[in-house]
Amino acid sequence: MQSIPILKMGSFLLVSIQVDMDDRTAMSLQDDLTSAIVKHRAKGVLIDISSLDVVDSFIGRMLANTAAMARILDADTVVVGMQPSVAITLVELGLSLKGVRSALNVERGMELLQSIARQNLAEADEADAGHEK
Amino acid sequence: MQSIPILKMGSFLLVSIQVDMDDRTAMSLQDDLTSAIVKHRAKGVLIDISSLDVVDSFIGRMLANTAAMARILDADTVVVGMQPSVAITLVELGLSLKGVRSALNVERGMELLQSIARQNLAEADEADAGHEK
């Protein structure tokens, strides 16, 4: 079984999936990623799947679950680099990846995460201001 | 043969090597990377080898050659995440990776590339100023 490296970039984590994952690799990635979010206090996760030609229902569900777990741990997830064929398959499988944001490439995904982080910060400030009144 | 994705992050490129590369994959990575440097006008390349347990002399030489090619194309190369055992093997093989900078992880590698870029810019400004006199 291969473990997929999780790279820390500032307050975000980057995972580049390059191998066709079997189910065990997918589960261990989920474990590693949630641990890494807590360890590094990450505010966002970028998952690059540009190398994946095939995404089956198990991997699709893993992506959705990972995003849900990250959300509870206060981190946003952006899936980047999805190939058109993968998008077609996912929708045909009935997996619309609810709650998962996507972006064209890593660069745009990073911008999206940064804008979400700024927005969250602004909302938190507003809530604080409201509380003080 | 598997192709290794090259991720663009601002003016830098990130390559995360996760598979034990055979020689053909290594050569095609070298081609893809030099093309990507030109296409994206990249100022630096980060090569993450944290997943590699073994680096043989061919891969070691490929890393050194890639750095030399990038240098000619006006981009700096930083190798990050090298495992201690890999460092030991490389030196024992007589490959000291001359001209390749290294950093502990992607985050520090990115900082190193940014500081090199700033330094190059300052030197270019100075040369311009000298020329104008």
* β strands within chain B, DSSP E: 6-9, 12-16, 44-48, 76-80, 101-103
Chain A CB contacts of B8 below 8 Å:
105-107
CB contact under 8 A, A106 and B9: yes
Report which residue type is found at A25: T
**B7–A106 CB contact, under 8 Å:** yes
Question: Beta strands B12-16 and B44-48: pairing type?
Answer: parallel
DSSP conformation class of B4: P
Q: Is the CB of residue B79 less than 8 Å from the CB of residue B98?
A: no
DSSP letters spanning chain A:
-PPPPEEEETTEEEEE--S---HHHHHHHHHHHHHHHHHHT-SEEEEE-TT-S---HHHHHHHHHHHHHHHHTT-EEEEE---HHHHHHHHHTT---TT-EEESSHHHHHHHHHHHHHHHHHHHHHHHHHHH-
Question: What tokens does B30 get?
Answer: 């070298």
> Of B8, B10, B19, which is closest to A18 when you measure between CB atoms?
B19
- Helix, strand or coil for residue B98? coil
Tens of pLDDT, residues B7-42: 998 889 999 998 878 888 888 999 999 999 999 999
Chain A positions touching B18 (Cβ under 8 A) are 2, 4-5, 16, 18-19
Q: Which residue of A has its CA nearest to B8?
A: A107
Report the predicted TM-score, pTM, of the whole model to 2 decimal places: 0.81
- Cβ pair A10:B81 closer than 8 A: no
pLDDT digits (tens, 9 = 90+) for A89-109: 888 888 878 778 999 999 999
Q: Which two tokens stand for residue B101?
A: 């900078």
To the nearest 10°, report the CA torsion of B22, B27, B32, B38.
150
Average pLDDT rounded to a whole number, residues A13-42: 91
> Contacts of residue B11 in chain A, CB cutoff 8 Å?
none
Q: Where are the domains of chain B?
A: 6-132
Reported ipTM exceeds the 0.90 cut: no
Can you tell me the distance from the alpha carbon of B88 to that of B94, in angstroms, rounded to the nearest whole number?
10
Q: What is the pLDDT of residue A133?
A: 56
Its CATH class, for the domain covering A6-132, is alpha beta
Mutate: best of B18, B19, B49, B50, partner A, most A CBs <10 A: B18
